[in-house]
Amino acid sequence: MSELKAKFHSRYEISYQDLEEMHSVFKKYYKNTDLKTFKNDLDKKNGAFILRKKSTGEIVGFSTVLEMKMIINGKKVHGIFSGDTIVEEEYWGDNPLNSSFVKFFIKKMLANPFRPVYWFLISKGYKTYLLLANNFIHYYPCHTRENQQLEDIMKGYCNYLFPEYFNEKKKILDFGKGAQYLKGGVAEITAEMCEKFPKIAFFNERNPTWDRGTELPCVAKATWGTAFHRIFIKPLKKQAVKLSGFLLPAKDEQRITTRRKAMP
């Protein structure tokens, strides 16, 4: 049984003490993040998923959320935008934050039966991109195929949320000097990784200046097939691998990026 628990809290349920704890975790992994900016950003969100230790209630991770109803190319869409996201290193991998997020998507799909639901995500590093690429069937950008519909949706939310920072030609978000960026060693990309893992190579190609804080805007469509696979099939496969004795140690899995990590 996991020693962690995850729950969505509306912005009004997040106390100032919680906010300070969240910021304390965040600044361990990011440069150029002050408490005032962090609070201002959270105030614009609907709330956040917060990951805590069951025994102490200590916050060890979170992901902020903004819900958006938009009309793109004449079609109504429901978007769930992920903002600041981080998990303490010792809990990287599969944790309750991931499954809570999937259940959140299921609720939104049930509440919007005639309106497609999308995940809007901006990636400072390859680990967040892999969350998208390893868990969704229909997503953009993808190293194996183009998807004009999803690209249009990506452009739509970027032009709405970040019009002054969106470079439509390069298809990245550039927040300029003073932008938040990952500290060294958090999500480094090596030539060996790019050679071994096409998705990491693709991220590095599309966002070559990630190390100074530029972000790759992404979008994925939430589907019942994706939700079923994430809730039921993947856990069964994971258990089968464990029983077979071939599950790699957690630290080795982190090195070769075969597990999803709730990190930008």
- Residues 183-238 have pLDDT tens digits of 877 888 999 999 999 999 999 999 999 988 899 999 999 888 765 445 433 543 44
- Residue 108 host element (H or E): helix 96-111
Higher pLDDT, 119 or 180: 119
Q: Where are the beta strands (DSSP E) in 104-223?
A: 117-123, 139-140, 166-167, 172-173, 181-182, 216-221
Q: Which two tokens stand for residue 1?
A: 């049984």
Residue 126 contacts residue 204 (beta carbons within 8 Å): yes
Q: Which two tokens stand for residue 234?
A: 């993947």
Whole-prediction pTM: 0.82
pLDDT for the residue numbered 121: 95
Q: Is 128 buried (19+), middle (13-18) or exposed (0-12) by CB count in 10 A?
A: buried
Q: Is 240 buried (19+), middle (13-18) or exposed (0-12) by CB count in 10 A?
A: exposed
Name the range with the highest mean pLDDT among 89-103, 131-145, 214-228: 131-145
pLDDT for the residue numbered 226: 63
Residue 254 contacts residue 261 (beta carbons within 8 Å): yes
Please report, rounded to a whole number, the percentage of residues in the chain having pLDDT higher than 90.
61
pLDDT for the residue numbered 178: 82
pLDDT for the residue numbered 227: 55
Angle at 193 between CA 190 and CA 199, to 5 degrees: 120
pLDDT for the residue numbered 233: 39
Average pLDDT of the segment spanning 77-84: 94
User: Does the pLDDT value for residue 260 go beyond 60?
Assistant: no
pLDDT for the residue numbered 162: 95
Average pLDDT of the segment spanning 104-130: 92
Q: Does domain 4-256 have CATH number 1.20.58.410?
A: no
Average pLDDT of the segment spanning 18-31: 94
